[in-house]
Amino acid sequence: MKILVCVTSVPDTTTKIAFTDNNTKLNKAGVTFITGPYDDYALARAVELKEKTGASVTVLNVGEADSEPVIRKCLAIGADDAIRVNAEPTDAYFVAEQIAAIAKENNYDLILMGRESIDYNGGQVHGIVGEMLGLPSISPVMQLDIDGDTAKITREIEGGKEQLEAKLPLVLGCQEPIAEWKIPNMRGIMTARTKPLKVVEPAGTDKLTTVASYELPAPRGAVKMIPADQAETLIQLLRTEAKVI
């Protein structure tokens, strides 16, 4: 079985965000980048399936050269090789197009990725990839087992869970608790240095969207503490200042 795990390189969740170029680009100065947390779950489950079934695991990232430390970490965790599409991941359609192009060349049995990235939180890529490849796409997947050519899946739905079976190949968007995050050990870090990392140029159409501008959210307002015995004052403030009632 051949597994493709698509990962994003995103700012650490503690990063203080700032923009440059007239608020059209993220200012990367001093920013620490990590693997998208939901992609980490996908990778962890892929490595578990590799250990159980002998599958091969390839990591794919659409990104520029500064994303390679993130890719090497994925190799240290247990992926066998990696591919980097040398392009800025500007929108979901462009990224999906690159993933689909790589998948068509290599005939993967299972394509895993996070349910969404934590920078744009679009949650669109897995669905677009499935459409481009003519494959089923299921998300968000909380549990995954493989029995022959059948995937047994539990996914989250509003108000509960849904259990499904689907034939391989297919595309899955993953989330916790599909697996526990894995931390690379020293041996993994050392071997990751020599594992293949292939860089390819982007395929397909030109980028279809451009960023007009980014804006930071409004700063939080001051907090007013109202004594517990002044309920009428609280209600008045909620009505006249917060205007939520």
> Residue 69, preceding bond cis, omega within 30 degrees?
no
Cβ-contact 74, 43 below 8 angstroms: yes
**CA distance to 48, 119, 121, 139, 201, per residue, from 10 (Å):** 24, 6, 11, 20, 21
For 59, the 3-state DSSP assignment is strand
Other CB atoms closer than 10 Å to residue 122's CB: what's the count?
Answer: 12
Radius of gyration of the chain (CA): 21
- Distance in angstroms between the alpha carbons of the first and the last residue of the chain: 57
Cβ-contact 12, 69 below 8 angstroms: no
Tell me the domain boundaries of the chain.
2-220
- The predicted-structure confidence for 149-192, as pLDDT tens digits, reads as follows 999 999 999 999 999 999 999 999 999 999 988 888 899 999 99
What is the DSSP pairing of strand 81-86 with strand 110-114? unpaired
Fold for 2-220, please state it. Answer: Rossmann fold (3.40.50)
Residue 238 sits at φ, ψ, to 5 deg, of -65, -30
Q: What is the mean pLDDT of residues 63-77?
A: 95
- The predicted-structure confidence for 3-14, as pLDDT tens digits, reads as follows 999 999 999 988
- The predicted-structure confidence for 10-35, as pLDDT tens digits, reads as follows 999 888 889 999 998 888 888 899 99
Q: How confident is residue 50, by pLDDT bands cut at 50, 70 and 90?
A: very high
Closest CA to 26 of 102, 112, 85, 88: 88
Helices 125-133, 92-106: inter-axial angle, 10-degree rounding: 40
Residues forming beta bridges with residue 5, ordered by sequence position: 59, 112
65: left (phi over 0), alpha (psi -120 to 50) or beta: alpha
The whole-angstrom separation of Cα 14 and Cα 32 is: 9
193: left (phi over 0), alpha (psi -120 to 50) or beta: alpha
pLDDT on residue 118: 86
The whole-angstrom separation of Cα 200 and Cα 180 is: 31
